[in-house]
Amino acid sequence: MTKLLFSELSKTKLKLVANLQEVGTHLELWDNQISECTSPEREKLRLIQSYLRDYPLSLMNEATIWSRAIYPLLMLAETGNIQAWAQVPLKAQFPNFEMEGIADGVLVSCIAGEITAPYLVVVEAKRGLEAPNPKYQLYGEMLVAAWLNWQENNKPDQEIFGCYTITDNWTFVHGRVTDFDHEKPLLEVKMSREYIQRSEPETILQILKAMITQLAPYTRP
């Protein structure tokens, strides 16, 4: 049986085990994801933005940017039992392959310290011309997250969200996964435009909140 790691995924490797359909950028999909921010949330956004102001992000390493910018914004999207977690192991065994690795971040249901399958997976992309394309690692994580949800609720059509970040730039991905018990599962993905946290923090938070609102009532049994 083929075993794949998120960190080693490429388009070629992913298409060997899954039917990947990249639909492209769909701006109207993300325009419809907007959920209003409250006054207390805007205050917290201003505090998070103060961590970025006047700092040369291009000279910071990925871990510093993650701790200053990305993870605090994920935490701000928390609601009820939905929490932000970092460095979360994910693993799935499909009929003809296994896939596993560590997700940089997730928004996930957590009860009494125990987490279930994620609603959103986040990849912190490496920078540089020779860095791998973060899309395919993210697609793999979304595929596994959808499989985990399928194991819980047995719905044959699973919706899942993902995001990859480069410095403080966020790109969201909407995924739909079917055919879990076939030779190759089907993964259809639609991209957002790039959102820059230094200038669009409220829009990013609105999208994160809308994702949770959309998925939370339906992904669990």
Mean pLDDT of 43-59: 85
- Which residue has 């909407």 as its token pair? 174
pLDDT confidence bin for 85, thresholds 50/70/90: very high
Cβ atoms 100, 92 nearer than 8 A: yes
Residue 220 is predicted with a pLDDT of 46
pLDDT at 212 over 90: no
Written as six digits, the tokens of 194 are 């790039």
Residue 127 is predicted with a pLDDT of 66
pLDDT confidence bin for 59, thresholds 50/70/90: confident
Of 6-10, 52-56, 69-73, 154-158, where does mean pLDDT reach its minimum?
52-56
Secondary structure class of 219 (helix, strand, coil): helix
* Residue 62 amino acid letter: E
The distance of Cα 24 from the centroid of its chain, to the nearest Å, equals 17
**Closest listed residue to residue 24, CA positions, set 133, 215, 174:** 174
Mean pLDDT of 33-37: 75
For 2-41, give one letter per residue: b (16+ CB within 10 A) or e. Answer: eebebeebeeebbeebbebeeeeeeeeebeebeeebeeeb
Instruction: Write the pLDDT tens digit of every residue in 64-75.
Output: 889 989 999 999
Instruction: Return the bridge partners of 21, or none.
Output: 188
| Four-residue CA torsion sign, 119, 211, 213, 221 | negative
Cβ atoms 7, 137 nearer than 8 A: yes
**Closest listed residue to residue 176, CA positions, set 193, 189, 163, 192:** 189
Instruction: Write the pLDDT tens digit of every residue in 173-199.
Output: 999 999 999 999 999 999 999 999 999
